[in-house]
Amino acid sequence: MGLGIRGAIVLALGLGKWSDAHACKSTTAETDVFSWENIQPSEDLVWIKCYGDKHCARLEVPLDYSNPNSGSAAIAMVRLHSGISHEDPQYHGPILINPGGPGGSGVDFALSWGSKIHTVVGPEFDIIGFDPRGIARSTPRASFFSSRAERAIFNSGGGLSPNASADTLSRIWAQGTLLGELASANDDGNLKFINTDNTARDMLRIVQKHGSDKLLYWGFSYGSVLGATFAAMFPDNVGRLIIDGVVDSEDYYATKWSNSLKDTDKVLSLFAAGCVKAGQTGCPFYASSAEQILANIDSLALALRSKPIPVRASLSHGLIDFSLFRATVFKALYSPYAQFRPLAQALAELTNGNASAFWELSALSRGDTPFQCGCNPSEYLFESLAESRWAVLCNDGARIPSDYDAWETYYLALSKTSSFADQWTIARMGCLAWPEFPKTNFRGPFVANTSFPLLLIGNTADPVTPLWSARKMSQGFGGSVVLTQNSAGHCSLSGPSICTQKAVRAYFVDGELPKGGTICPVDSQPFDKPALGGDDANQAVFRVVEDQLLYNNARELAMSFQTLLTYNSNHDCVNAENVPSTVTLDITASINSLFFLLPPPS
């Protein structure tokens, strides 16, 4: 289950140690900054100019679709306009995108990557990113705390792997129990309506407000659950629907989350094999065999379990311990093209006693988010993204046993699937003592003959959404096709493949499905020099101009995993003509969710 991109679950696992990074970094006035709160929610789509040349809206939808007059929710969305007029016969309508999570902001996703997605699908479409109900700018939001200070104090503890010491598994269980109790105590009556079922209905409402009854959609990781749910609930309303980095939705709704790690260790093995192939000059963590590299990683982890390394940096300080080490390695598996070379460098330096590179690489796992004083107060809403995540996950899924013995049994069973079970077990912790809401939401079956066949995309080595899941889910949707991308990493955009991008474009523009069994190669490898950046003779060069443009776009998308994960602590609040502050301001709270059903624990 692609649950997340993070080395820590923001809320429950305590993202980081308090440090200099939490000092106030900006006093910039926000008087001229675009504010979502100034947009009045409307039952019709009313677009206003925002973020330069983009348009924003807040659509009012029923809070409870079974009782439409009982209240409303407001769905925030941003639109990147098509490259052609809406009056042009070639205009095909809006494509809705979802980055995963749950808890991922589709608005931030569109603002950050929308132009690159436009390059993939073509100018015939608008791109619309929306924040699902309960998340980020959409209201009402989930919140388990009465103040920002209370949340910060809660988050300052934890960050442990279940196998870090003799008592950490029980400590995480206790913290998860507390989390559920806080959710119940702070529920304002809206919490139970934050789920995937209602978000699917919201998507249909968005489509209808555009004057259509057919959804065009591209969803990643958890976004595949949302897409599959829509297709199963509204099979006659599918125009084009791609789910990429496919989650086993049956497993997700059963709250088992037991099929996600089938290929995780395979990705780490590919890191080791790639390092050996790159040689001493191409991989700083080189050893004579992949087995030796894996053993060296294990040795580092064990050494840190008994003796953590203290680190002081310019904007943060703390410890590199077993838990942080494991989370950082796990996180790197999501984005090999951006992370394998930096990981190799960091591991090599750590072996030689220099912890600086690893500390920098682990920033996402630590949750190093500077505390901002001068930014728009509305941007603080991103601090509750983890609560929104739990709301969706726990409202969606079947109830799980709350006792410790069952918790331990689950962890031990998952450990038989992957050595990274310690990084996945906590995905269920927030649901241990979840409020006992009626389970009336849609949870399957995922069987339907849709009005247009689905396209499912899976990588041959995805750390949290194995190709197996795409093949399984395809069996329930008549006429659907699985496109395989021969690469490591989470979701197709984690690796540069012209073949995949052309298949996506052909599907959206022409309604053309790839032949069953199609395997798309990637056009460069993680340890190629340079690591997807800069100009070099080793970079792929194509004779066809369009292919070169697509490759460059694919390379930039893959590299975005690094640029989005590399947090610039020196940022200030920015104005509406630049990249919105929420894209950079809380990158570890919002972008962390991109392409992940849940963040990996730290």
Q: Is pLDDT of 570 > 70?
A: no
Q: What are phi and psi of 401, to 5 degrees?
A: -60, 145
> Which of 489, 481, 435, 500 is closest to 465 using CA atoms?
489
Answer with the residue of higher pLDDT: 371 or 258: 258
Matching residue, tokens 């939490």: 22
pLDDT tens, residue by residue, 322-352 = 999 999 999 999 999 999 999 999 999 999 9
Residues 12 and 176: beta-carbon distance below 8 Å? yes
Distance CA 424, CA 294 (A): 20
Average pLDDT, the chain: 84
pLDDT range class, residue 376, cuts 50, 70, 90 = low
Res 163: pLDDT = 80
What pLDDT sits at residue 225?
A: 98
Q: Return the structure tokens found at 50.
A: 């925002």
What is the domain partition of the chain in residue ranges? 49-260+440-565+574-593, 264-366
Q: How many Cβ atoms sit within 10 Å of the Cβ of residue 547? A: 16
Contacts of 99 (CB under 8 A, 6+ apart): 105, 106, 108, 109, 129, 220, 221, 223, 593, 594, 595
Phi, psi of 60 (to 5 degrees): -85, 125
Report the greatest alpha carbon distance in the chain.
68
Whole-prediction pTM value?
A: 0.88
Superfamily of domain 49-260+440-565+574-593, CATH level 4:
Alpha/Beta hydrolase fold, catalytic domain (3.40.50.1820)
Which pLDDT tens digit goes with each residue over 391-424? 999 999 999 999 999 999 999 999 999 999 999 9
Quick one: pLDDT at residue 539?
A: 55
Residues 165-188: what's their mean pLDDT? 89
Q: Which residue has the higher pLDDT, 37 or 202?
A: 202
Task: Answer yes or no: is pLDDT of 559 > 90.
Answer: no
Q: What is the pLDDT of residue 571?
A: 27
The reported pLDDT for the residue numbered 530 is 52
Q: Percent of the chain having pLDDT more than 90?
A: 66
CA distance 315 to 308: 20
- Answer whether 500's CB lies under 8 Å from 484's CB: no
Does pLDDT of 370 surpass 60?
A: no
How far is 430 from 323, CA to CA, in rounded Å?
19
Q: What is the pLDDT of residue 427?
A: 83
